[in-house]
Amino acid sequence: MKKLNLLALTVTYVLGLGFASCADDVTPAAKDQSANASTKTSTSKVASTPWVKQFEDTFDVGSSLSQWTKEQRADYNSWYCDYASSVPTTQWRDGKQCLEIKTTKLSTYKYQSGFISSHYQYKPENNTEYMLSANIKLVAMDGGNYKSFTQTYGAWPAFWSVQQNAWPTKGEIDIMEGYSFAPNSSRFASNLFYGTSSGTNQLGNSAERNYPGNFDINANGGWHLYESFWKMKDNVVTVTIKVDNVTISTYTNSSAGNLNLNNFGPHSIIFNLNVGSKDSNFIDPNKINLFSTVMMWVDDVTVYKRPI
């Protein structure tokens, strides 16, 4: 999620890289479950030795999200989205206990949504690797009917890690940024941001890497495993982004001019769902269509560490 002011906002809008076509309706694999069902004790992401779990949230229904800051502010990238601390909640969705962030239209050009950042922070020490994983579903609703995320226009969900203080001097790793452009194809990408001065991104969008054209957001019932592998081996830093165990992008200091991964971190984990942009050429506010709501569901998030 780019944290840029309007004058610095530079967005590469690539329509030529299409993704799988949308379905007419997207129905969850299972009905929402009652809150008296059994409580999860672990996430679905389990890594064996030598991986050691460092952080986990299973988003059990009733959780106060005490491991997170629920932000209350306007989005940095959009004139049209305000974050409310009341929006992120835990709900039963698709038979899973999930974090839910959902949009609400407040007026013609104003939407309310959610943004959470973890209190937990991490960065790799030399000869260690961290694995950040989250199971996420993006979906819309039109009244009582589920719709594909790809049928919407103007939604901008993201799963990322960052040090928000003095951004971007400690870097930013975007694992998943989604952009909906119906009736055109939605777009998904990873990205990095970095600069030596607070408020100035020196990479532009040179580190943006589009997901492959065969990525289908509606596959697997809409659920996908998004991961960041962040390692330092003999003082050389590498960041690898994977989706459903398939490598999307690999970054080293040679991946973009002015990039210095050795200065990244420590990072918090971020989930947010933005609407619109400050650049009307990128997202036209007059075309925004989220039906009744767009939702991000997160089944679980973990961080594991291992020596390398």
In the predicted structure, residue 27 carries a pLDDT above the cut 70: no
- How high is the pLDDT of residue 43? 53
- How high is the pLDDT of residue 2? 55
pLDDT digits (tens, 9 = 90+) for 55-100: 999 999 999 999 999 999 999 999 999 999 999 999 999 999 999 9
What is the arithmetic mean of pLDDT over 216-223?
98
In the predicted structure, residue 34 carries a pLDDT above the cut 80: no
In the predicted structure, residue 235 carries a pLDDT above the cut 70: yes
What is the arithmetic mean of pLDDT over 9-28?
39
What is the arithmetic mean of pLDDT over 288-306?
98
pLDDT digits (tens, 9 = 90+) for 150-205: 999 999 999 999 999 999 999 999 999 999 999 999 999 999 999 999 999 999 99
pLDDT digits (tens, 9 = 90+) for 122-158: 999 999 999 999 999 999 999 999 999 999 999 999 9
**pLDDT band at 10, cuts 50/70/90?**
very low
Dihedral sign, Cα of residue 209, residue 76, residue 155, residue 28: positive
pTM of this structure: 0.89
- How high is the pLDDT of residue 45? 81
- How high is the pLDDT of residue 28? 44
Lowest mean pLDDT of 25-34, 193-202, 203-212, name the range. 25-34
Lowest mean pLDDT of 2-16, 222-236, 280-294, name the range. 2-16
In the predicted structure, residue 42 carries a pLDDT above the cut 90: no
Percent of the chain with pLDDT over 90: 85
In the predicted structure, residue 238 carries a pLDDT above the cut 50: yes
Burial 19-58 (b: 16+ CB within 10 A, else e): bbebbeebebeeeebeeeeeeeeebebeeeeebeeebbbb
- How high is the pLDDT of residue 9? 42
- How high is the pLDDT of residue 44? 72
Tokens of residue 18, six digits: 């299409």
- How high is the pLDDT of residue 141? 98
